[in-house]
């Protein structure tokens, strides 16, 4: 479900509820997520300690504690985090629950259990970046993620540009929706070889990726089926989709019919008028 904008919206929604709160109790469904949930370890490391901040890296949320411990949470396809009153009705796929000192609790819900909850004791920003996120590419908004950097990484690569920008080892946070939307807005066909983009095209694509992600964050993310932010509200960027899920509809720019095609196993939406076939 969640790509960078949705994770960022969740982070921003959670921050005011979590910052400075003490974790009092932890409950787990017992079902494994992508990896087993370290329930007893979390109780030892987190209970009685204060949450200092919530960060995001790529599509990961990072809850930092005053004792140096860090929770690293990935939402997978269907994961979500929300704040609820203690004792309120739980949902079917609530898998982890962190009780706080003010009568609320943070809940992780994940229908398909593709998400992950990991625990690092004694994590610093440096060790997190060096150990846990070592293989991740730069954040799209960071200085190190330049058009030059992307062009260099793409040099010699025949792989489709769409797959390339969805590769988290190259650039973090871009999933299927925002890859489709950014390529359409850049007028670049998703099957173009990554190495075939000119410097000018890289500049345009990077600028548009940044703008698209930023606009989506400002809209509260995209609600496809059930995405909601920490307070239970859905985002509305999906009204700005120009190609995603719009096969059979006419392009709002050139009036040609948008097609759907599987590229590298992922649904891709292309305007044959705006995005020239390689």
Partner DNA sequence: CAAGTTACCTGACGGC
Partner DNA sequence: TGCCGTCAGGTAACTT
Q: Which is nearer to DNA, 3 or 45 (CB)?
A: 3
Q: Which stretch binds DNA (CB under 7 A): 45-53, 143-151, 204-212, 216-224?
A: 216-224
Strand positions, DSSP E, 32-125:
51-57, 60-65, 70-74, 79-85, 94-100, 104-110, 116-120
Q: Which of 17, 56, 64, 113 binds DNA (CB under 7 A)?
A: 113
Q: Is 2 among the residues known to form the active site?
A: yes
Whether the Cβ atoms of residue 107 and residue 81 lie closer than 8 Å to each other: yes
CA distances from 198 to 19, 39, 68, 81, 219 (A): 45, 49, 45, 40, 31
Nearer to DNA, 118 or 185 (CB): 118
Query: Binding string, 74-103, against DNA, x = CB under 7 A?
Result: x-xxx-------------xx----------
Instruction: Give residues 156-195 in contact with DNA (rule: CB under 7 A).
Output: 156-160, 163, 166, 168, 175-177
What does 147-215 look like in DSSP terms, one character per residue? Answer: HHHHHHHHTT--SBHHHHHT-TTTSSS--HHHHHHHHHHHT--TTSBGGG--HHHHHHHHHHHHHHHHH
Catalytic: 190?
A: no
Among 52, 267, 272, 273, binds DNA (CB under 7 A): 267
Positions in the binding site for DNA (CB under 7 A): 1-3, 6, 32, 34, 58-59, 74, 76-78, 92-93, 111-114, 135, 156-160, 163, 166, 168, 175-177, 222-227, 264-267
């Amino acid at each position: 479900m969640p790509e960078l904008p949705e994770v960022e919206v969740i982070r921003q929604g959670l921050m005011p509820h979590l910052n400075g709160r003490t974790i009092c109790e932890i409950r787990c469904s017992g079902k494994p997520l992508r990896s087993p949930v370290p329930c007893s370890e979390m109780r030892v490391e987190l209970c009685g300690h204060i949450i200092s901040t919530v960060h995001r890296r790529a599509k990961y949320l990072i809850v930092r504690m005053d004792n140096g411990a860090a929770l690293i949470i990935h939402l997978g396809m269907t994961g979500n985090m929300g704040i609820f009153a203690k004792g309120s009705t739980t949902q079917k796929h609530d898998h982890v629950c962190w009780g706080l000192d003010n009568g609320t609790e943070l809940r992780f819900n994940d229908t398909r259990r593709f998400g992950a909850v990991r625990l690092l004791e004694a994590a610093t920003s440096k060790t997190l970046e060096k150990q846990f996120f070592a293989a991740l590419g730069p954040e799209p908004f960071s200085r190190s993620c330049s058009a030059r950097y992307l062009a260099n990484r793409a040099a010699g690569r025949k792989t489709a540009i769409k797959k390339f920008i969805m590769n988290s080892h190259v650039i973090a946070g871009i999933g299927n929706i925002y890859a489709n939307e950014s390529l359409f807005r850049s007028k670049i066909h998703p099957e173009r070889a990554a190495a075939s983009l000119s410097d000018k095209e890289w500049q345009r694509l990077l600028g548009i990726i940044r703008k698209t992600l930023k606009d989506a964050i400002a809209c509260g993310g995209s609600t496809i089926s059930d995405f909601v932010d920490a307070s239970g509200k859905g985002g509305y960027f999906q009204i700005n989709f120009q190609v995603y899920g719009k096969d059979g509809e006419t392009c709002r720019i050139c009036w040609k019919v948008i097609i759907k095609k599987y590229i590298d196993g992922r649904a891709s939406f292309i305007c044959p008028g705006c995005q020239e076939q390689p």
